[in-house]
Amino acid sequence: MKSILTTSIVLALASFSAAAAEYEVDFGYDSKYISEGRDNLEKGGIFWLNGAAGFANGITLSAAYGYAADVDYDELNVGIEYGFEMGDFSLYGSYTRLEFFKDDETDNELGAGLTYGGLAWFEPFVDYVYSSEAEGGFLEIGIRREFTINETLTFTPYVIAAFDYGYASPEHDGTNHSSYGATLAYRLNDTWTMNAIVEHQEGHKDVKLDVGHHTGHLWGGLHVTAGF
């Protein structure tokens, strides 16, 4: 299946070759693999290798491979996204194919979201994803603010409230967790950027009913990104 996904990426890139493109490659390490208020690994962190190609027509192709540092786990995500703007709103729709090799499982996810950029002090945003495997959705509502400290340093804090509707837990719906975090980007030159992230996720009703313990997770990450 991996070879089929790789072929699909090559064919898609060929079909969009006439459009102006921007490419990005990212490699980094996260101290934990936290998502939906849950730690996806028994212990340790995860290495990520990500790549994306964005085109002038609004299409973005992406791939991400994660490899756990201390346990036997890896996954591959391959996606396509279409983004556009309407006034102060930025909107997108996406499709992602997920491959979980250790468990020999797959998933297909449809996503959509919007960001409102018409406010001076912060940007509100909404993201939603639907999983065909779980037959459920996950909603995130948040705000963020980008502070340009100088020509090379950017600081972006954010707050997110998350709600689960059969995506992370089939038994419980409703408030899932809240996230409090910040990213710090240091531009080394026109190509390379260092990105650091610190985030705390605090589990709420859905996580507590599903997991029952360890509902709070603090993690950090450091990534190197190249843009062309």
Q: Tell me the pLDDT tens digit for each residue of 200-223.
A: 999 888 888 777 766 799 999 999
Q: Is the pTM of this model over 0.75?
A: yes
Mean pLDDT of 102-131: 96
Mean pLDDT of 180-202: 97
Domain annotation for the chain: domains and CATH numbers? 2-227 (2.40.160.40)
DSSP states of the chain: -HHHHHHHHHHHHHHTTTS-EEEEEEEEEESS-EETTEE-SSSS-EEEEEEEEEETTSEEEEEEEEEESSSS-EEEEEEEEEEEEETTEEEEEEEEEEEETTTTEEEEEEEEEEEE---SS-EEEEEEEEETTTTEEEEEEEEE--EE-SSSEEEEEEEEEEEEEBSS-SS-EEEEEEEEEEEEEEE-SSSEEEEEEEEEEEE-HHHHHHT-S--EEEEEEEEEEEE-
Which tens digits make up the pLDDT trace of 18-31? 456 899 999 999 99
Which tens digits make up the pLDDT trace of 14-66? 444 445 689 999 999 999 999 999 999 999 999 999 999 999 999 999 999 99
In which band, very low, low, confident or very high, does the pLDDT at 158 lie, cut at 50, 70 and 90?
A: very high
Q: How far is CA 212 from the centre of its chain?
A: 25
pLDDT above 70 covers what percent of the chain? 90
Whether residue 130 has pLDDT greater than 90: yes
Residue 102: strand pairing partners: none
Mean pLDDT of 173-197: 96
Which tens digits make up the pLDDT trace of 161-173? 999 999 998 888 8
pLDDT number for residue 14: 41
